[in-house]
Structure 1
Amino acid sequence: MPALLKQRLLDWMGGDSSAFASFNEAALEVFAYQFEHNASYRHYCEARGVTGARLTDWNEIPALPTDAFKFPAHQPRCFPAENATRYFLTSGTTREVRGRHEFEDLELYERSILAGWSQLGLPEIRNPWFLSQSPSDAPNSSLVHMFEVLDRSIASERWMIDLEGHIDTSGFPGKAPVELFSTALALLKWTECNGPTPLAEGSWIFETGGYKGLRETMEPERFREKVAAHFSIPVNRILNEYSMTELSSQFYRWPDEEGHRGPHWTRIRVINPETGAPAGDGEPGYLEILDLANLGSVAAIRTQDLAIARGPSSFTLLGRDPGALPRGCSRAADDLLNQR
């Protein structure tokens, strides 16, 4: 990984606006590096008639489909396989090929978590509890690692799901305000298996993952109303996070916001599924995300989600492409919690 480009990205993400003249400059430098060093991605770009020398705008950078991370012999990485120090896996059953995102180091990844949280004005984390497995039990979960990064001092008893999928609520919630971090389906499991659990005033909930699980389909609004009633908190105290294993950065939305918001080193595109051209203002299409924290793999990612663009780094999520396979953190939680 180029030390100078990496350091400039770290500085830029940390608030040094002088590191790059513009997002476009940063994006084109990242693309040039990935085109040269990522053979799988370069072949994909060339098949689409794109070379590094021809690009002048970040909108021209080809987005790699997430399925490309499922081919072990052609991992989209910019470094030799033996230099990988960490990897995260997408969720899935034992019969499926799981996507794999490899990292030479996690410095940019972790900076994106912390700097993004701060830049987007999200609440201070003071008393977190995690409806999740622990990092030692789920070392290849990007979500669990994100939770760990948000508070390195988390006590072991704050991780509430064990290897067998049991939820341990001992010690929770106490009388102080808490921050409860969870997937959507783990929260649903809690509401099904436990009585009402009022949280102290000032508490809030972080939830991520889809609502179309294996056991129950629920619209986001109904889901949040159910969770808010169970924990006796206002609906507007439930923060939704959108990301995926193939990305390094996150997008967030409170219920009263129009769309998910991402940090300044990200951009989004919404693509018309019929023409392949950018969708018009207010029109739905496939969501593509450019995440410059993905320096060691591929910055431009084509998701299988449908969305409407709301700004350079903001979108309204409409849901998953009906023809795509279920995936995501909620599905992993659902599989674990129902394995008994």
Structure 2
Amino acid sequence: MELREKLLDWMHGTGAEPSFDEMALKVFRHQFELNAPYRRYSSALGRTPETLTGWQEIPAVPTDAFKLTRHPLRCFPAGAVQAVFRTSGTTRDIRGEHAFEDLTLYETSIIRGWERIGLPVPVNPWFLSQSPADAPDSSLVHMFGTLQQAHAPLARDRWLIDSTGRIDPAPLAEAVAKGEPITLFSTALGLLRMIESRQAVPLPPGSWIFETGGYKGVKVELEPAAFRALVAERFAIKPSKLLNEYGMTELSSPFYAWNGETAHRGSPWTRIRVIDPETGRIASPGEPGYLEVVDLANLGSVAAIRTQDLAIATGENSFTLLGRDPAALPRGCSRRADDLLNPS
């Protein structure tokens, strides 16, 4: 597909740097033509390839739209699905599903985005996570697997959580004893589990930690600053050596911020919008609102996603995260998306 190849060339840095606006409108046309639920949704809002003049007008779907599995958001037939990532949830929750015809764009966005943002090469990576074989429908675990293959392809047994969810700290302790710097990849909850169970170990000098996810759900609830101070203390790293990732199953491209930085930064093929909750329009500079992400690596689904988070825009693809909307996606909004996406 010509559009897919152009996106890959952009990610690899081959050829001239394209116009984001031009590429975004091409991606929107592609998704409008091939993604029937999204076409209905966009048409109901009066947004079509003929009426749009720029990427900021591309309609965003709420993340809950990925839970409407009766009319999946994809640009290819069911028989072409090669992978499905699912959102986390309890057994009573309806889990969102993000289907992929091909994971090349997703994986290239992870690796090349990491480089384009200027993050350090992970050295001696370990993963406080299940392996991709144990959690094949987790987008985060697949991301970890992609990074492992890119930076430590010959490494084995780097996964510290088994198929039952049990943490085995022994391999990490053995690696620490060698005194070589370590890059530890984890969720916030995984780090808290190690701390609460007294399994955290001081990491060698030069180590750093990648963390993602929320800070609630273990025995106590912590604010981000308190959590990161606790992790830095127990794992004996500098607080500035904690890298936070903002990502979600519905996106292909993450955003990153080091502890102490005020903004998360994204790849060149992403843009963010902050929407005024009262007017539904783009918020004035410096004003908070609902965070929307336009991710062109989402070629096979929907590029524009309305998150459940509040933020302040700090650049075209960077933002200061304020936290989750306490009234995130009330049922009325979900019904509205359902009505617009449903063919009946």
TM range (shorter): over 0.9
Counterpart-to-counterpart distance in 2, 1:81 and 1:128: 36
Residues 211 and 217 in structure 1, CA contact (< 8 A), matched pair in contact too? yes
- Which of 32, 35, 40 does residue 37 from structure 2 map onto? 40
- Relative to structure 1, the CA distance from residue 170 to residue 275 in structure 2 (aligned partners, 3 Å threshold; closer, same or farther) is same
The aligned residue for residue 336 of structure 2 is: none
One-letter code of the match for 2:283?
A
One-letter code of the match for 1:16?
T
* 1:73 alignment partner, SS class: coil
One-letter code of the match for 1:116?
G
Aligned residues: 322
Residues 235 and 255 in structure 1, CA contact (< 8 A), matched pair in contact too? yes
- Which of 80, 94, 107 does residue 104 from structure 2 map onto? 107
Residue 221 (1) aligns with residue 221 (2):
no
Residues 251 and 261 in structure 1, CA contact (< 8 A), matched pair in contact too? yes
Counterpart-to-counterpart distance in 1, 2:171 and 2:38: 48
Offset, 1:250:
0.7
The aligned residue for residue 72 of structure 1 is: 69
- Which of 8, 13, 22 does residue 15 from structure 1 map onto? 13
The aligned residue for residue 275 of structure 1 is: 279
Residue 5 (1) aligns with residue 3 (2):
yes
1:129-150 deviations in Å (ceiling 9; x for gaps): 1000011110000000000101
The aligned residue for residue 88 of structure 1 is: 85
Counterpart-to-counterpart distance in 1, 2:49 and 2:161: 46
- Relative to structure 1, the CA distance from residue 125 to residue 296 in structure 2 (aligned partners, 3 Å threshold; closer, same or farther) is same
The aligned residue for residue 190 of structure 1 is: 194
One-letter code of the match for 2:167?
I
One-letter code of the match for 1:11?
D
Q: Which runs of 5+ in 2 are unaligned?
A: 330-344
The aligned residue for residue 296 of structure 1 is: 300
Residues 215 and 221 in structure 2, CA contact (< 8 A), matched pair in contact too? yes
Counterpart-to-counterpart distance in 2, 1:126 and 1:295: 31
The aligned residue for residue 128 of structure 2 is: 131
Offset, 1:154:
5.9
Residues 270 and 288 in structure 1, CA contact (< 8 A), matched pair in contact too? yes
Residues 86 and 105 in structure 1, CA contact (< 8 A), matched pair in contact too? yes
- Which of 112, 115, 120 does residue 118 from structure 1 map onto? 115
Counterpart-to-counterpart distance in 1, 2:155 and 2:141: 14
The aligned residue for residue 203 of structure 1 is: 207
Residues 66 and 73 in structure 2, CA contact (< 8 A), matched pair in contact too? yes
* 1:12 alignment partner, SS class: helix
The aligned residue for residue 59 of structure 1 is: 56
How do 1:167-178 and structure 2 match up within 5 A?
167-172=167-172, 173-174=176-177, 175-178=179-182
Offset, 1:256:
2.5
C-alpha RMSD of matched pairs (Å): 1.3
Offset, 1:115:
0.3
- Relative to structure 1, the CA distance from residue 277 to residue 113 in structure 2 (aligned partners, 3 Å threshold; closer, same or farther) is same
Offset, 1:14:
1.2
* 2:157 alignment partner, SS class: helix
Residues 251 and 298 in structure 2, CA contact (< 8 A), matched pair in contact too? yes
* 2:95 alignment partner, SS class: coil
* 1:182 alignment partner, SS class: strand
Residue 166 (1) aligns with residue 166 (2):
yes
1:5-61 deviations in Å (ceiling 9; x for gaps): 1000000111135263x1000000000110011001011111111111111110000
Q: What TM-score, normalized by structure 2, do the two folds share?
A: 0.91
Moved over 4 A (4+): none
Offset, 1:157:
2.1
Q: Provide the identity percentage.
A: 61
Q: What TM-score, normalized by structure 1, do the two folds share?
A: 0.92
Counterpart-to-counterpart distance in 2, 1:214 and 1:270: 31
Counterpart-to-counterpart distance in 1, 2:121 and 2:51: 44
